[in-house]
Amino acid sequence: MTNGRFLTTHVGSLPRPDDLIAMMWAREDGIPVDKAAMEERVCRAVDEVVARQTKAGIDIVNDGEWGKPSYATYIKDRLNGFGGAGNTYVFQDIEAFPQTKARVMADPGRKHRKAPACDAPISVRDMEAPRKDAERLKTALKAHGAAGAFLTAASPGVTAFFFRNEYYRTHEDYVFAIAEAMRDEYETIAAAGVTLQVDCPDLAMGRHTQFKDLDLAGFRERMELNVEALNRALVNIPAGRVRMHLCWGNYPGPHHCDVPLQDIVDVVWKAKPHAIQFEAANPRHAHEWAVFETVKVPEGKVLIPGVIECQSNYIEHPELVAQRIERYANLVGRDNVMAGVDCGFSIHVGSAPPSRAGGFGADKFVLSREASYASTLGPLCRRCRRRVRTHMRIDAQRRSVVEVSNGWRSAEDRPNGRSVCARASHGRRQAGLLRDLAHGKPALRPGYQSGDEHMRPGAADGQRRHQHGGRPARRVAVPAMAGGAREGTNRQPRQG
């Protein structure tokens, strides 16, 4: 959290301008495109997309991946060794639904995507490309400002997923060769002062695609291998400079074959990045917040749950977004949560859900605004279903707030780890006193000892307990106003 609100971000890809799409499609199809014209257009595009994100209120922004044809297949233009026949993979969940399969595979972004097989030793061809990505983004940041920035890069595992291996003896040899080649890009991005995001759909989507013929134990072994390769590539980068994206596949399928988060989260924790961005808003994974009621988040890890679904035509109600953020904050702590999106809005050039294309700014503004709203109001009390507001302890003599604390009990005291409000009044009286102080009015009359009906007269400045729903809850008292207040006197009505 920053300044009392949750930071907001997204996964990376955003719908590109039509003219940039045309230029990139032409290049992917082998049609000559002037390099200088392409570079100039990408520079302007990155400036445009950063401006739109900052205007929408996004805190941690990126270049929209507007300089890449895809979040993963771009590496064929930066690494040597990929010249074999293209790879065709199958989503297991859509095989029983031919009409859905036809729609998914007809996506124009997928049709133009090129993913040749690896048929030669892998080595770095273009070391300047990631440096140019970082320079374009940093130039736009100087012009428009933002709390922070990130750049995406394909993980070794997802690269092995898209580009079939026809050269290396084993999958292990292949994925570690990719890791060694990608290390330069990772380190270049981190050295530029922006956060590196490694995209790792292989750790979830791989279960019902590349490794659909393996049982869960076999898939987890492949996960372990891919995580080990990723960690080797990140060996020189501090964990705090890296985040990762976990994904079950960004396509409009039934997703009933998705591996449950519960079955893989322990392997995910072994990856070096300190922040984990994952799907948490779509109907297949929205329930998995409950995983964190029993699974402890390792020390130093931050969750970036998706609170906006990227494949739905619905625009989420602000209150729903707030509830999703609150739910995770209550489970793992406010400082361990950042608000994100399920996945990218245009993972391949020219692909985007209909309602989101060209209009991501409105969605992100809702996300940003409601993240702040959620951090202000706090969660719902699970007993009385009213929002818990912030506690304020007021020094009436100095007319200032001397303590602010959350209106719910600590995680250790919560039954079943859920929120129980610690004030029957939900802080309404304290809020009124704070408003009075702000307007220069006397907050308390002499003898007015407490800001709550349940506090005993004569309590000066301390803590008392009262019953709420049959359970004791801790209270914060309001100090008496100096100049006539005496311990033991009865309360009198407020003035002003």
Domains of the chain, by residue range, sit at: 18-378
Q: Is 400 left (phi over 0), alpha (psi -120 to 50) or beta?
A: beta
Q: How far apart are CA 30 and CA 20, in angstroms?
A: 16
**CB contact at 8 A, 298 and 266:** no
Q: Which CATH number fits domain 18-378: 3.30.110.40, 1.10.730.10, 1.10.287.130, 3.20.20.210?
A: 3.20.20.210
In the numeric block, which tokens belong to residue 257?
């074959």
Q: Which of 115-119, 141-145, 348-352 has the lowest mean pLDDT?
A: 348-352
Structure confidence at residue 350 (pLDDT): 72
Q: Which of 183-187, 297-301, 479-483 has the lowest mean pLDDT?
A: 479-483
Rounded to 10 deg, the angle between the 18-28 and 35-56 helix axes is 140
How far CA 284 is from CA of 38, 275, 309, 344, in Å, comes to 39, 22, 11, 17
pLDDT tens-digit readout, 19-39: 898 888 888 888 888 889 999
pLDDT tens-digit readout, 122-168: 999 999 999 999 999 999 999 998 889 999 999 999 999 999 999 99
Q: Which of 106-110, 154-158, 273-277 has the lowest mean pLDDT?
A: 106-110
Backbone angles phi, psi at 281, to 5 degrees: -115, -25
The better pLDDT of the pair 88, 268 is held by 268
Q: How far apart are CA 194 and CA 185, in angstroms?
A: 13
- By DSSP bridging, strand 195-200 and strand 242-246 are parallel
Q: Which of 20-29, 318-327, 384-393, 465-474 has the lowest mean pLDDT?
A: 465-474
How far CA 158 is from CA of 31, 81, 209, in Å, comes to 27, 16, 12
385 pLDDT higher than 80? no
For residue 391, name the pLDDT band (cuts at 50, 70, 90): very low
